[in-house]
Amino acid sequence: MTGALPFYITTPIYYVNDVPHLGTAYTTIVADALRRYAVLRGRPTRMLTGTDEHGLKIERRAAEEGQSPQAFADGVSARFRETWPELRVEADDFIRTTEPRHIQFVQDLWKRIEDRGFLYLGSYDDWYCVGCESFKTEKELLPGNLCAIHLKPVERLKEETYFFKLSAFQDQLLALFEKRPELIRPESRANEVKSFVAGGLRDLSVSRTSFTWGIPVPGNDKHVMYVWFDALSNYLSALGGPDGEHGSFWPPKGEAVHLVGKDILRFHTVYWPAFLLAAGYAEDSLPTTVYAHGFLTVDGQKMSKSLRNAVDPRKLAAVLGADTLRYHLLRAIAFGQDGDFSHEAMLERYNADLGKNLGNLLSRTLGLCTKFFDGTMPAAGNDGELETQLAADIAVERERAREAWARHEPHQALEATFAISSLLNQYIDRAAPWASAKTDLPRAGHTLQTILHELAKLSLWLWPAMPDKADAMRAQLGLAPVAAQAGEDLFARADALPAGTVFVTGTPLFPTYDRERTEAILTELKPPAPKLETLPEEPPPTLRRDPEPPAAAEQA
């Protein structure tokens, strides 16, 4: 990828049956971090998030609340829109599937597919789970016709439907997966999708007549579109289509990366490409990459209302700061794998990585400059063996960080970034400028200026994960906040710290938490656990619904 290639990063649009939680926050923070890294590289960037607002589940939930579906969706969507700035997420657009711009695009897409002969009218008679927004086969149900996910009875529905000729795209999709290995990541998930497609694709029901809260089918308004046909189209409707105002972000003119939970990977890598191909899009006009991440547990357990272990990201950010939450989620969880969240682990990582590693290094270095150089940047001297080795070691870690960001793996990028901080701590301990200052002040000055130049560079590498703390670090170093713009690669421009630069010391950047403060934070953030014997059986929540649409071959 060239530095000028536009970068389009998206989250799933979140279903309005629930408010923002740790899982949705995680996906959105990762997307924002990847956006920020692309910004630093000088690439035009655009980030999209939003809410998915149609379907029978929302229609019924709104009725239970005594509201219209639109009013209900308005309220929950606002919660999502309000949450992201509190987590320092700066999305460029927030799409809602009830917006006219989206509805118009989806109806146009439907007509294109219909005109090309890939839609036909049929009927089905099958079991339906409202909670999943999904039809179920007999083999998927538990005794008593219970949904295996919700443990609630499913309903028998029979209605007319439009089918999409998904079966026509089986061979093309399999060939596409071989030609485009970057399309599905991580590789383990790609293998699952390939196996699913190779097992045979059946035509897909893409309309409903049993409820009305959805986008009407053009020319037959007694049908509304299946929620996934509606929802997946948001990635293009938000751009105004490939030829719209922001169409330059869509392939082949740009790089488009969809971040999704592993439970909705199939819809993004099978149905979404097939819809686009059916509408006449070329293979090079499909998304660049769909990256599936795993699920989050809390203290080793799935999040559950009965366990009262749901984590409110807004409260975490309010108590600890958004950057602390961002750093922990990005660093502790290997993107693409399942991960576990622990309040204790977050505070331990904060103390170890941010307080004792980076924060202590910054404080020590600036403190020595204050003591021996009146709080200003010392003059450079000559590199010795220590500096030569340090530069070589840092170059290795910096390249490792660059490659990890390019692979969309922030956990690896931050591991390499903090390895640089560890190298600098080792260097200052070996060079001991507090001792050399007594006999060779210029040598001590060279040691400190070596560290300070690297800290200035580190502030850029930290910015995607911790924008506020990175800018605060730069302020202490006498630097302006990060101000990236398209066309300028900030990593290629070394921030100048000339001799005599005045440093600003004050409150430690990352004050560590002692035992008393740690216990107080945990008491504030963690509700008391209920007695285990009172817990009812309850299935785990997912990041959003996991609907399996009915296949033509399964219909009566």
Q: What is the pLDDT of residue 134?
A: 66
Task: Give the span between the Cα atoms of 531 and 171, in whole angstroms.
Answer: 53
Asked if the model's pLDDT at residue 88 lies above 50, the reply is yes
Contact (CB, 8 A) for 234 and 102 = yes
Contact (CB, 8 A) for 105 and 233 = yes
Mean local confidence (pLDDT), 387-407: 97
Asked if the model's pLDDT at residue 309 lies above 50, the reply is yes
H-run or E-run covering 37: helix 22-40
Q: What is the pLDDT of residue 140?
A: 73
Q: List % helix, strand, coil for the chain (3-state, nearest 5).
A: 50, 15, 35
My answer on whether 358 and 256 are in the same domain is no
My answer on whether 269 and 131 are in the same domain is yes
Contact (CB, 8 A) for 350 and 510 = yes
My answer on whether 102 and 145 are in the same domain is yes
**For the chain, how big is the Rg over CA atoms in Å?**
26
Q: What is the pLDDT of residue 545?
A: 41
Angle between helices 22-40 and 410-431 (to 10 degrees): 70
Mean local confidence (pLDDT), 327-332: 98
My answer on whether 251 and 359 are in the same domain is no
Does residue 528 lie within any of the structural domains? Answer: no
Q: List the domain range (segments joined by +) for residue 359.
A: 344-492
My answer on whether 258 and 363 are in the same domain is no
Q: What is the pLDDT of residue 226?
A: 92
Does residue 322 lie within any of the structural domains? Answer: no
Half-sphere exposure of residue 252, counting CA atoms within 13 Å on the CB side?
A: 4
Q: What is the pLDDT of residue 302?
A: 83
My answer on whether 300 and 350 are in the same domain is no
Mean local confidence (pLDDT), 339-343: 94
Asked if the model's pLDDT at residue 52 lies above 90, the reply is yes
Q: Which two tokens stand for residue 225?
A: 């579109």
My answer on whether 301 and 400 are in the same domain is no
My answer on whether 286 and 354 are in the same domain is no
Identity (one letter) of the amino acid at 223? Answer: H
Give phi and psi for 354, each to the nearest 5: -90, -45
My answer on whether 69 and 191 are in the same domain is yes
The separation between CA 440 and the C-alpha centre of its own chain, rounded to angstroms, equals: 50
pTM of the complete model: 0.91
Half-sphere exposure of residue 471, counting CA atoms within 13 Å on the CB side?
A: 10
Domain boundary among 451, 474, 492: 492
Q: What is the pLDDT of residue 480?
A: 92
Mean local confidence (pLDDT), 269-280: 98
Does residue 13 lie within any of the structural domains? Answer: yes
Q: What is the pLDDT of residue 308?
A: 65
Does residue 318 lie within any of the structural domains? Answer: no
Q: What is the pLDDT of residues 362-373, one digit of tens each?
A: 999 999 999 999
Q: Is 172 left (phi over 0), alpha (psi -120 to 50) or beta?
A: alpha
Q: What is the pLDDT of residue 528?
A: 65
Asked if the model's pLDDT at residue 223 lies above 60, the reply is yes
Does residue 511 lie within any of the structural domains? Answer: no
Task: Give the span between the Cα atoms of 447 and 380, in whole angstroms.
Answer: 9
Q: What is the pLDDT of residue 550?
A: 47
Mean local confidence (pLDDT), 32-46: 96
Q: What is the pLDDT of residue 299?
A: 87
Partner residues linked to 9 by β-bridges: 47, 257
Tell me whether strands 255-261 and 301-302 are parallel, antiparallel or unpaired: unpaired
Starting at the edge strand that comes first in sequence, how are the strands of the sheet with 155-164 ordered?
134-136, 119-129, 155-164, 204-205
Mean local confidence (pLDDT), 58-69: 95
Mean local confidence (pLDDT), 90-95: 98
Looking up residue 427, the CATH number of its domain turns out to be 1.10.730.10
Does residue 179 lie within any of the structural domains? Answer: yes
My answer on whether 34 and 106 are in the same domain is yes
Q: What is the pLDDT of residues 9-30, one digit of tens each?
A: 999 999 998 889 999 999 999 9
Mean local confidence (pLDDT), 270-286: 98
Q: Which two tokens stand for residue 109?
A: 């897409």
CB proximity list for 429: less than 8 A, separation 6 or greater: none
Output 261 or 556, whichever has higher pLDDT.
261
Q: What is the pLDDT of residues 131-182, one digit of tens each?
A: 666 667 777 788 888 887 668 888 887 889 999 999 999 999 999 999 999 9
Q: What is the pLDDT of residue 488?
A: 84
DSSP-assigned states of every residue in 361-397: HHHHHHHHHHHHHTTBPPPP----HHHHHHHHHHHHH
Asked if the model's pLDDT at residue 337 lies above 80, the reply is yes
Q: What is the pLDDT of residue 306?
A: 55
Q: What is the pLDDT of residues 237-247, one digit of tens each?
A: 999 999 998 99
Looking up residue 44, the CATH number of its domain turns out to be 3.40.50.620
Output 142 or 324, whichever has higher pLDDT.
324
Whose tokens are 């990201």? That residue is 313
Q: Which two tokens stand for residue 327?
A: 């750093």
DSSP-assigned states of every residue in 518-548: HHHHHHHHSPPPPPGGGPPP-PPP-SS----
Does residue 516 lie within any of the structural domains? Answer: no
Does residue 205 lie within any of the structural domains? Answer: yes
My answer on whether 305 and 353 are in the same domain is no
Q: Under DSSP, is residue 19 helix (H, G, I), strand (E, B) or coil?
A: coil
Q: What is the pLDDT of residues 494-552, one digit of tens each?
A: 677 888 999 998 889 999 999 999 999 999 998 765 554 444 444 433 334 444 454 44
Least confident of 144-148, 185-189, 296-300, 319-323: 144-148
Mean local confidence (pLDDT), 224-248: 95
Q: What is the pLDDT of residues 418-465, one digit of tens each?
A: 999 999 999 999 999 999 999 999 999 999 999 999 999 999 999 999
Asked if the model's pLDDT at residue 116 lies above 50, the reply is yes
How would residue 1 be classed by pLDDT, with cut points 50, 70 and 90? very low
Task: Quote the number of domains for the chain.
Answer: 2
My answer on whether 368 and 303 are in the same domain is no
Task: Give the span between the Cα atoms of 167 and 205, in whole angstroms.
Answer: 12
Query: Percent of the chain at pLDDT above 70?
Result: 91
